[in-house]
A and B are shown apart, each in its own frame.
Chain A
Amino acid sequence: MNVMNWILLIPLLPLAGCLINGLGRNQLSKRTVGVLGSLTIFISFCLSVAVFFETIKPGFSTKVINYFNFIKFENFLVPFNFQVDQLTAVYLLIITGIGFLIHVYSTGYMKEETNEGFGRYFSFLNLFVFSMLLLVLAGNYVIMYMGWEGVSLCSYLLIGFWFKDHANNDAAKKAFVMNRIGDAGFLLAIFWLYASFGTASYQPLYNSENGILTALTTLNTTDAIGISLLFFLGAAAKSAQIPLYTWLPDAMAGPTPVSALIHAATMVTAGIYLVARSNILYTLAPFTLHIIAIIGLATAIFAAIIALKQNDIKKVLAYSTVSQLGYMFLGLGVGAYSAAVFHVMTHAFFKGLLFLAAGSVIHAMSGEQNIYKMGGLSKKLGITYITFFIACLAIAGVPPFSGFFSKDEILSAAFASNPVYYVLGVAGALLTAFYMFRLLSLTFSGKFRGTHEQEHHLHESPPVMTWPLIILAILAVVGGFIGLPEVFGEHANVLGNFLSPIFSHSEHLLVKNTISHNTEIILMSVTAVLSIIVCLWAFNKYKNPSTDGESRKGLAGIIENKFYIDEIYDAVFVNPYRRVAYFFQNIVDVKVIDGVVNGVGRFVNYSSRQMRLLQSGLVGSYLLLMVIGMVILFIIQFFFK
């Protein structure tokens, strides 16, 4: 039995779960729904594991499975096919694995929901997993696009899950529309691919015999730059890069497990997947890579700065996600594709964990999200505290936690490419360490600053919620060891080696400034030490803050208000759009176009009224007009020929 024949089941099972939960949401009990939802993902996970083991077999080559022709006429073909290779396998594991954990967690977290809401929630969540799987399994960009938009849709549905509150709906809509900007770029890139190469399937595009490597021999051709930039537009929107990041913090309006799954672990990393998937294309367009690196770095630092002053536990994590995604793009931009994927993985672990733990906190605090209203939770929420702490260490880049290794790989690649990237990257990493420990400190240490009622209510979450935390915490600790730097041995970077077939063509093309092992060790230790110092500083600084937060003046105020980016967007895009729309509706359409149309009608009416006056009822004037007409016609006939 070849697992490849069953691969279709991996996405179809969640889809089945979605349909059953969705259609039967009023009939099924919460328990059934929860079990069904988790079970389908679990089976998918098992299949993914099987697939993964298939891919690590020696002699494995990329597998393309054709199901049917989605669109076919003349020489235009969009097959519905799946492609399985190492990259897919890694992503499959992340999606189904973390997805499963979060499903399990959700059964506890969403317990308060009504039967209907619970079913709907799991249905959407399953649909999301389906879309995400479709995205990574796709064998061509069109099918990937289906998953791509599918996850946007699920994100939309889940952010606006509590649809009675228009704030949630607005956030959902914002997320969807911003993603659509990226989708537009994605689509254009697909068209460009079809126009230039006649296909959008990976296999014909990226093989070495007759793919684009042979079609585009020089770097930086218009085609390569255009397509890669457009794809990056898609990736930037999905992965919340400057300037399209603002939807992600707002997306925290959804239930916390959703934030963990969609807005931390999986969907937002689809952009990285896209770029990694198209790495050959990007390698052919170094110009685009530079832009990616710059934008990634800028995002990383910018978001980290904003995160410094956020008071909402989820907002901090959200900006942190944006920042981490920036790192991933930095990695991609400097050509360290596998490092980026590695960071995707570790980030999935620790950020998923952070969100789930935050969820646990919020759960315990009965929905309170302001960290200044918390404090001292470590006593009541033991497991949550420990797991949260581990995750903080991981994200702050404290060795030997997973984040350290993945971030380090990116940073060293950045150093190789351009030391300035490295310096800025490290600065960002230190900011990360600072705000994470500020968060940790404010939340868990010190005195409780909330109401009595909340204090009374404080409790550790049920096991269905804590177990996923524990599992993720373990992964966050050990996850880094599959990608140890070369310093620790010839084949220490297991993940890198595993993924190398995917990036082999790029490796050939990229001009790599390798750095010596010594330099690398020095760099590693510098970052590690700095991170630890910052962590300790931040943790202590915020042990006992005032309840109402810090001063909101000056720079701090600006940062707290996220540099007013949303307001600027509103002023620059949304409001003018609305004004133009009203102008079209009330002026152009009514006054101009309809004015002309009605004007013609009025003109006819007016001329009718005027012409009627010729009919004066007097024979004399009739005769006179007749004679005048005669004279005119005579003159025309005789003198104007």
Chain B
Amino acid sequence: MEIKWYLFLSLALFCIGIIGALTRRNSIIVFMCIELMLNSVNLLLIAFSKMHLAGNNALSYTMATEAQLFVFFIMIVAAAEVSVGLAIIVLMYRNTKSVDINFLNRLKN
């Protein structure tokens, strides 16, 4: 496949994620949209990794490996973020019985 399709696919996913984050009020869904964005990045990185493999030599192997490991680290971070994020959302739910991002609106102006 040509790389551009992967590029466009992941951009599309990324932007869908953004749109979701912009349009939804349920904080869990917003958070999921952000996860979607991260995943689109992962996809793109893998695609680029494969693209850089074109040289098919030791250097391009290293190049490709780097991206795949980067994706691995992104997943690590995403996992850590999810645990913290969900903890925060649960905390808020405990206090307010709501997960609406606009429900708490004391800090403004």
Answer whether A and B are interacting partners: yes
Interface residues on B, range: 10 to 19
Bound-state Cα–Cα, A613 to B109, Å: 6
Q: Which residues of A contact B105 (CB under 8 A)?
A: 617-618
Known: A613-B109, A617-B106, A620-B23. 17 other contacts (CB 8 A): A612-B109, A615-B108, A616-B108, A617-B105, A617-B107, A617-B108, A618-B101, A618-B102, A618-B105, A618-B108, A619-B30, A619-B102, A620-B22, A620-B25, A623-B21, A624-B22, A627-B18
Q: How far is the CA of A619 from the CA of B103 in the complex (A)?
A: 10
Chain A interface residues (CB < 8 Å from chain B): 612-613, 615-620, 623-624, 627
> Which of A612, A616, A620, A627 contacts B101 (CB under 8 A)?
A620
Residues of A within 8 A of B109 (CB): 612-613, 615, 617
List the B side residues contacting A613 at CB < 8 Å: 109
**Contacting residues, chain A, for B30 (C-beta < 8 A):** 619
Complex formed: what's the CA distance from A170 to B105 in Å? 71
Which residues from 10 to 28 on chain B have a C-beta closer than 8 Å to any C-beta of chain A?
Answer: 18, 21-23, 25
13 inter-chain pairs at a CB distance below 8 angstroms, sorted by A residue, are A615-B109, A616-B108, A617-B105, A617-B106, A617-B107, A617-B109, A618-B102, A618-B108, A619-B30, A619-B101, A620-B101, A620-B102, A623-B21
| 8 shortest interchain CB distances as A-B pairs | A617-B108, A617-B105, A612-B109, A619-B101, A618-B102, A624-B22, A615-B109, A617-B107
The distance from the CB of A139 to the nearest CB of chain B, in whole angstroms, is 78
Which residues of B pack against A, CB within 8 Å?
A: 18, 21-23, 25, 30, 101-102, 105-109
Chain B positions within 8 Å of A624 at CB level: 22
A608 shortest CB reach to chain B, Å: 10
Which residue of A is nearest B104, CB measured?
A617
Expressed in whole angstroms, the minimum distance between the Cβ of A606 and any Cβ of chain B is 14
Q: What's the dominant secondary structure at chain B's contact region? A: loop
Closest chain A CB from B58 CB (angstroms): 36
Q: How far is the CB of B59 from chain A (nearest CB, A)?
A: 31
CB of B56 to closest CB in A, whole Å: 33
For residue A628, which residue of chain B has the nearest CB?
B22
How far does the alpha carbon of A149 sit from the alpha carbon of B21 in the complex, in Å? 85
B91 CB, min distance to chain A CBs, angstroms: 16
Bound CA span A342–B84, Å: 112
| Shortest distance from the beta carbon of B3 to any chain A beta carbon, whole Å | 20
Identity of the chain B residue whose Cβ is nearest the Cβ of A611 in the assembled complex: B109
Interchain nearest-CB distance for A509 vs B (Å): 87
* A613: nearest chain-B partner, CB-CB: B109
In Å, the complex CA distance between A617 and B22 comes to 14
Q: What's the Cα separation between A620 and B102 when bound, in Å?
A: 8
Give the residues in chain B near A627, CB-CB below 8 Å.
Answer: 18, 22
Chain B nearest CB, measured from A381 CB (Å): 92
By a CB distance below 8 angstroms, the chain B residues around A616 are 108
Distance, CA A283 to CA B25, complexed state (A): 99
Report how far A624 CA is from B18 CA in the complex, Å: 9
Centre residue among A612, A613, A623 by max chain B CB count within 10 A: A623
Neighbouring A residues of B23 by C-beta, 8 Å: 620
Measured between beta carbons, the chain A residues less than 8 angstroms from B107 are 617
Cα A619 to Cα B102 in complex, Å, equals 7
Chain A: CB-nearest residue to B106? A617
CB-based nearest A residue for B21: A623
| B94 shortest CB reach to chain A, Å | 19
* A620 partner residues in chain B, CB cutoff 8 A: 22-23, 25, 101-102
A157 to chain B, nearest CB (A): 66
Task: Report the Cα distance A616→B106, complex, angstroms.
Answer: 10
User: Which of B22, B105, B106 has most chain A Cβ within 10 Å?
Assistant: B22
**Bound complex: CA of A619 vs CA of B101, how far in Å?**
7
**CA A7 – CA B5 in complex, angstroms?**
112
Chain A residues in 8 Å Cβ range of B21: 623
Q: For A618, list chain B residues within 8 Å (CB).
A: 101-102, 105, 108
CA of A627 to CA of B23, assembled, Å: 12
B30, chain A: closest CB distance, angstroms = 8
